[in-house]
Amino acid sequence: MSKPCRATEAAPHFSGSYRPRDVRFLLKPITVKPTSVAEKERLIQSGQRHYSEMLSRESLPSPKYMEVFQHAFAMSRTRMAEGLLDLAAIIAARRPDEITLVSLARAGTPIGVILKHILVELFDRETLHYSISIIRDRGIDQNAIRFILDDAGRDPAGLVFVDGWTGKGVIARELSAAVEDFERGHNIRLDANLFTLADLAGVGIAPSDADYLIPSSILNATMSGLISRSVLNEQIGPDDFHGCVLYEEFAPKDLSTWFVDTLLDDARARIQAGYSPKATAVDPSQARERSTRLIAAIQDRFGITDVNLIKPGIGEATRVLLRRVPERLLIRDPRLPEVAHLLQLAHEKAVRCEVDPTLPYQAISLIRGLPDA
């Protein structure tokens, strides 16, 4: 069984398997009895439990999948390094004073860690990085926000919410609503924009709206400081941070700091080679229209009434194959190396794969709708 995150009772934060200077996780250490993927799906779709109340047991990826990951990383690392440099330039241009990165655990965490180092080292900007929980239909962890502003004394104007990518834009909209709620309750205004590497939904601020392979999306805990997805169940009291579990048993295979160090080396190399980071974000309007049309078309084509069962883009499609019950995988071009890991996962889990060259994204996963839901 997974073990609780290592943190003393008095410690308000910890760094997981990252170095303490990399990130401060504002999450409560808990233990969670794993729920099988099939049972979790049944409980979610029947409305008996919210997804944030449960975790399925994570496992290490197969040797074949790790081969695919290493190939994908080698192929995509330069593009991701340039994207990180561009995103850092965008943030630096929009935050003239102190910068406080607030990454959304857990997909946002590796992005936030690397951005923090780039901003400090390459942009000479004073920056701190916290990683906190946001949960669909439940909002952001307001206790964590209050800690950052009150206990840590950070300037509200310097907060920057960071994630890896957007799919349909659900989390970006959740963030916007949560920030409005926080302002009503505390009379403190925060920037509700979500800063990401790739904004497929056209709902945030990003250097790109392309569905390209972000290598950190391919793995789970071993790419995110060994922490689980955040949890909000009966163990979380009104004054607690949202919860997490640490997979200490995966430590020998952990790639979290290796990934950070390697991408930082790549970013430094790009600067030395003359790369000039772009501080202008992509116009989100085209991506927003594309996303809206796609979701409507997929709903009509497959008779899907619950949009939560549609997960567009490489990152979201990967998450479905790793921890949900997929109904099928849609691929635009199976020959592209960017989707090799998805094809490997689909093969390992016997998931139906369908090729559709008209897709505006590289991949889409559909979660299986259960008949008794």
pLDDT tens by residue, 160-172: 999 999 999 999 9
Q: How far apart are CA 203 and CA 199, in angstroms?
A: 7
Strands (DSSP E) contained in the chain are 3-4, 24-25, 28-29, 99-104, 127-132, 134-135, 139-140, 159-162, 165-166, 194-195, 198-199, 243-246, 310-312, 326-331, 352-355, 363-367
Band of residue 36 on the pLDDT scale cut at 50, 70, 90: very high
Whether the model pTM is above 0.85: yes
Domains and CATH numbers, the chain: 3-272 (no CATH), 285-367 (3.30.1330.30)
Compute the average pLDDT of residues 99-114.
Answer: 97
Question: Over pLDDT 70: what percentage of the chain?
Answer: 96
pLDDT of 8: 34
- 13-to-9, 35, 152, 240, 247 alpha-carbon distances in Å: 10, 27, 11, 12, 17
Convert the pLDDT of each residue in 258-317 to its tens digit: 999 999 999 999 999 999 999 999 999 999 999 999 999 999 999 999 999 999 999 999
Compute the average pLDDT of residues 26-35.
Answer: 95
Convert the pLDDT of each residue in 88-105 to its tens digit: 999 999 999 999 999 999
Torsion angle of C-alpha atoms 300, 305, 306, 310, degrees rounded to 10: -20
pLDDT of 2: 44
Band of residue 12 on the pLDDT scale cut at 50, 70, 90: low
Residue 304: Cβ-neighbour burial (10 angstroms; 0-12, 13-18, 19+): middle
pLDDT of 4: 40
Query: Looking at the predicted structure, is the pLDDT value of residue 196 above 70?
Result: yes
Band of residue 370 on the pLDDT scale cut at 50, 70, 90: confident
Before 319, cis peptide (omega within 30)? no
Compute the average pLDDT of residues 119-134.
Answer: 97
Query: Looking at the predicted structure, is the pLDDT value of residue 84 above 90?
Result: yes
